[in-house]
Amino acid sequence: MLGTLSDLDLRLIRVFLAIVDAGGISVAQGSLNVGQSTISTQLATLETRLGFRLCERGRGGFRLTAKGLRFADLARTLVGAVEDFSMQARNMDRKLVGALRIGMIGHTPFSENSRISHAIARFRQRDEAVRLFIKVCSPSAMEEQLLSGELDVAIGYFWHRTASLHFTPLFLERQVAYCGQPHPLFAQAGEVSTAQAWDHDWAWRSYPLPETIFPAQPRHITAVADNMEALAMLVLSGHHLAFLPQHFALPYCRQGLMAALNPQALHYEVTFHVVTRQRQHVSEIARAFLADLAAVHLDMPEGCKAEGLG
């Protein structure tokens, strides 16, 4: 059974992961740059060291055993930790060393994505050796991952303000109600009243919207989705109305595939926030990135700039 890890063990583990990623021993020859017999020997050596079989291979094809599946997950965690240690050890003389994990909601406006990219560019000019991880996920998932420490910074819109998180306004996004070209209201697009719209089938968000947006809500919510692509698909079917970010719907409108029902009456605005844990729990790396984000966000409310987004 595998005891203390040696350099040989780490090398064999990397070979095993290369085999798993390639989907078999023969396919892994290219990435490992060694022959099939050598790879087979290395895999067998690792199995002997472990005391159990990692995979089935032969005429039936390549398949991980149950223990092999579990070991692959553990091996990836180990290799990632070793690489992170090596990176930090190599860069101990740098001011900022470690990881920055950013969460974002999908389909933020192009102008805002551009500013976030500029913030990353500014951050990369610092004296740093930081590995960036960027996730796209729902607001509720981002809140959970901030609280658990899986994320350092989140950018999105959040209806519930968890007391242990720090929310700073970033920018406004306009949401407008749309119908697809096959929908009976398409011919009246631009002049549809709220009462008319509420009588039709709607696709709604799976997460809650502020109750103060409208005095009433659609009577027929017959579809639910948690992302913009799914809502757009439902609108394009011609059977559902839905609110979409104006910038996201624009390409569909230009192609004549959907139209705004009444941009003046059927719209609302949401405030995007940058969110972190409370100030005392924000890392030096995250603080540096937030300062760079504030620097490029020229139309940010003055209060945001003053707080340094932290």
CATH number at residue 265: 3.40.190.10
pLDDT at residue 57 is higher than 90: no
Residues 6 or more apart from 303 whose CB is under 8 A from it?
Answer: 169
Whether residues 287 and 159 share a domain: the answer is yes
Q: Is residue 1 part of a domain?
A: no
Evaluate if residue 93 carries a pLDDT over 80. no
Q: Is the per-residue pLDDT at 310 higher than 60?
A: no
Strands 201-205 and 220-225: parallel
Taking the whole predicted model, whether its pTM rises above 0.85 is answered as no
Q: Does residue 232 lie in a domain region?
A: yes
How far is it, in rounded angstroms, from Cα 83 to Cα 260? 50
pLDDT tier for residue 308 given thresholds of 50, 70 and 90: very low
For residue 288, being part of any structural domain is answered with yes
Q: Could you give phi then psi for residue 13, rounded to 5 degrees?
A: -65, -40
Distances (CA, A) of 112 to 109, 121, 205: 5, 14, 22
Same domain, 162 and 277: yes
Alpha helices for the chain (secondary structure H): 7-22, 29-32, 36-50, 66-90, 110-124, 139-148, 194-198, 228-236, 246-254, 284-296, 302-307
In this structure, the answer to whether residues 162 and 281 fall within a common structural domain is yes
Q: What is the mean pLDDT of residues 193-198?
A: 91
Residue 272 has pLDDT above 70, yes or no: yes
Q: State the amino acid at position 275 in one-letter form.
A: V
Helical pair 66-90 and 7-22, crossing angle rounded to 10 deg: 120
Q: Are residues 209 and 182 in the same domain?
A: yes
Domain count, the chain: 3
Q: Residue 3 — very low, low, confident or very high, per pLDDT cuts 50/70/90? A: low
The residue-averaged pLDDT of 13-40 equals 89
**Any domain includes 2:** no
201 occurs within a structural domain: yes
Same domain, 265 and 178: yes
Residues 17 and 78 in one domain: yes
The whole-number average pLDDT for the span 217-233 is 87
Task: Select the more confidently predicted residue: 299 or 60.
Answer: 60
Residues 6+ apart with CB under 8 A from 85: none
Task: Indicate the pLDDT class of residue 304, thresholds 50, 70 and 90.
Answer: very low
The pLDDT of residue 157 is 83
Domain range holding 293? 96-167+273-307
Q: Confidence class of residue 121 from pLDDT cuts 50, 70 and 90?
A: very high
Using CA atoms, how far apart are residues 259 and 246, in angstroms rounded to an integer? 11
Read off the pLDDT band of 212 (50, 70, 90): low
In whole angstroms, what is the distance from residue 242 CA to residue 292 CA?
Answer: 35
Q: Are residues 86 and 15 in the same domain?
A: yes
